[in-house]
Structure formats: structure tokens, C-alpha cells
């Protein structure tokens, strides 16, 4: 029997294409279905995950005017939380976040003392442990020391009140051991990340939470802003009732603070304590 070889090859080739077509079609259908399933369950996961958190942010609309924050003053006040003192008086509230010491805090304290300017230093646990003399100096010179948590975590991801409290009580204990006094109930969330549940928990623990209405990028050690860059942000954006956030690790802040405070004073501003807002002692 003669076999038409070309016809057999053609038939096999057609069958191969048919199988490939079926495989591709099946893959496409499965992929589309899987995408729908994935999308569906992804939305479910986001709904049932940890409480929604936000990073504190500001929008500046006009030079010399207060910025708009993630939340308004009235909304925050329900949780004893603040980002500004809503006043027309030219008051400034100075705050410093202290993660560690690199030689600039002495310069900052010297400038504050010269201008009789009270400040709040929000400290983490290792700063208190490693710098007891600086903590005592802050108190002796009329400043407040606030709580920036023991280990500087994302507090919005802490799920239990006990864990939240431990982050604060650890710093309280170190402060008590260092100064012999109880720590003021002033709290700043690390990196400004928070949730309303955080604010509520802090309030339940007796704390007032502080965000800010003026800051600039001063914390990157190998990218410190120039004096001109710092003044461009800090002079043009200052406003009545400003809560100013600066970092103690910034060499720029150490170098310019005396002149910065002088220039703010020349603009008619005066430096006040957050005690005005909270009654903290």
C-alpha cells in the first residue's frame, strides 16, 4: 500500500496546531478567570486588614498662611491631638525629634537658651538611655521631653493596646529612672504614621498627640540641606500657631538655629510652650 507522505505530514501539522490552539485558549480562559478571582479576593483582603493608616501630610496654599493637614484641628482635638494652634497670634511651638545623638543637640540647646525659647524634645528609648545628661539639661533649661516610642515602629500596625502601651511605657520608665520625675504625656507617632485607633488609644492612655504644621527634609545625614535651602522653607512657610518639627541630628539645624530664631523674631513671632494647648507639666 502506498502512503502519501506529504498528506500525512500535513494532517499531523494541522493536529499539532489544533492542540496548540486548544492549549492557548484554555490558558487564556484560566488566566482571565484567575485574574477575576485574584481581584475579588484582593479587595476582600484590603477590607479585612489592619485599620487604615495615614502618613501625616500638609498642603501649603499661601505664603505665611497655615497649611491644610490630613485632618483638621477640630477633628484631631477629639483625640487630644494637634498639628497647629489655630490662632492669629504670631506664636511658634518648637519641637525636635530625637532618634540618636551626633553632636548637634548641644548647639540646639545653646540657641534655644539664648532666645529663651521653650521646646519639646520627642525622644526614643535609646536616646534617653544613651544621653541621660542631655535629658536632665533639657529639663533644667525649661524644656519638655515627649515620647517618640521605645523602638520607633510603625505604630499603626500594632494591633493590641498592650503592645501600644509597652512602646510608650518603656520610654516612661527610662525617663523616670533618669530624672526622678514622671514623663509628660506628650506623644509623636514615628514618621507621622497613624490611625484613628492609634489616636484613640493614646488618648485613653492620657497622652496628647502632636503632629506638625511646618517641617522640611532635614533628617538625611548625607544630604543635609544648605543654609539657603533651609531658610527658603522655614522662613516662607512659617505661620501663626505653627508647630515646627526639626530633627536634632541635623547639622544644618545646629548651624542655623540661632539665626533662624532671630529672623523669626524679626518677623514678629515669639516662642511658646505647648503647655498652652494641653496643660502639660
Q: Which residues are annotated as catalytic?
A: 97, 247
CA distance 145 to 133: 13
- Give me the residues paired with residue 123 across strands: 98, 147
CA distance 274 to 93: 6
**CB-hemisphere CA count at 13 Å for 56?**
26
CA distance 68 to 60: 7
Q: How many helices (H) and strands (E) does the chain have?
A: 10, 12
- Under a CB-based contact definition with an 8 Å cutoff, are residues 167 and 155 in contact? yes
- Under a CB-based contact definition with an 8 Å cutoff, are residues 255 and 97 in contact? no
End-to-end CA distance of the chain: 109
Cα radius of gyration rounded to whole Å, the chain: 28
- Under a CB-based contact definition with an 8 Å cutoff, are residues 252 and 218 in contact? yes
Instruction: Work out the angle at residue 148's Cα, subtended by the Cα atoms of residues 145 and 153, and round it to the nearest 5 degrees.
Output: 170
- Under a CB-based contact definition with an 8 Å cutoff, are residues 149 and 124 in contact? yes
Amino acid at each position: 500500500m502506498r502512503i502519501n507522505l506529504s498528506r500525512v505530514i500535513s494532517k499531523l501539522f494541522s493536529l499539532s496546531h489544533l492542540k496548540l490552539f486548544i492549549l492557548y485558549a484554555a490558558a487564556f480562559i484560566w488566566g482571565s478567570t484567575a485574574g477575576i478571582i485574584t481581584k475579588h479576593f484582593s479587595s476582600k483582603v484590603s477590607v479585612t486588614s489592619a485599620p487604615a493608616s495615614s502618613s501625616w501630610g500638609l498642603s501649603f496654599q499661601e505664603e505665611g498662611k497655615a497649611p491644610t493637614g490630613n485632618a483638621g484641628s477640630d477633628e484631631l482635638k477629639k483625640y487630644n491631638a494637634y498639628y497647629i494652634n489655630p490662632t492669629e497670634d504670631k506664636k511658634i511651638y518648637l519641637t525636635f525629634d530625637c532618634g540618636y545623638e551626633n553632636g548637634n543637640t548641644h548647639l540646639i540647646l545653646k540657641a534655644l537658651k539664648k532666645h529663651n525659647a521653650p521646646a519639646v524634645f520627642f525622644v526614643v528609648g535609646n536616646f534617653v538611655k544613651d544621653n541621660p545628661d542631655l535629658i536632665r539639661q533639657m529639663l533644667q533649661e525649661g524644656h519638655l521631653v515627649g515620647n517618640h516610642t521605645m523602638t520607633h515602629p510603625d505604630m499603626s500596625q500594632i494591633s493590641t493596646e498592650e503592645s501600644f502601651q509597652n512602646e510608650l511605657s518603656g520610654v516612661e520608665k527610662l525617663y523616670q529612672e533618669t530624672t526622678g520625675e514622671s514623663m509628660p504625656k506628650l506623644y509623636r507617632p514615628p514618621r507621622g504614621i497613624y490611625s484613628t485607633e492609634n489616636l484613640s488609644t493614646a488618648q485613653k492612655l492620657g497622652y496628647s498627640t502632636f503632629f506638625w504644621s511646618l517641617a522640611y527634609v532635614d533628617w538625611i545625614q548625607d544630604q543635609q540641606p544648605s543654609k539657603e535651602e533651609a531658610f527658603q522653607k522655614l522662613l516662607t512657610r512659617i505661620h501663626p500657631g505653627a508647630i515646627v518639627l526639626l530633627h536634632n541630628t541635623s547639622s544644618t539645624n545646629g548651624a542655623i538655629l540661632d539665626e533662624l530664631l532671630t529672623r523669626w523674631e524679626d518677623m514678629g513671632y515669639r516662642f511658646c510652650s505647648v503647655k498652652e494647648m494641653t496643660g502639660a507639666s
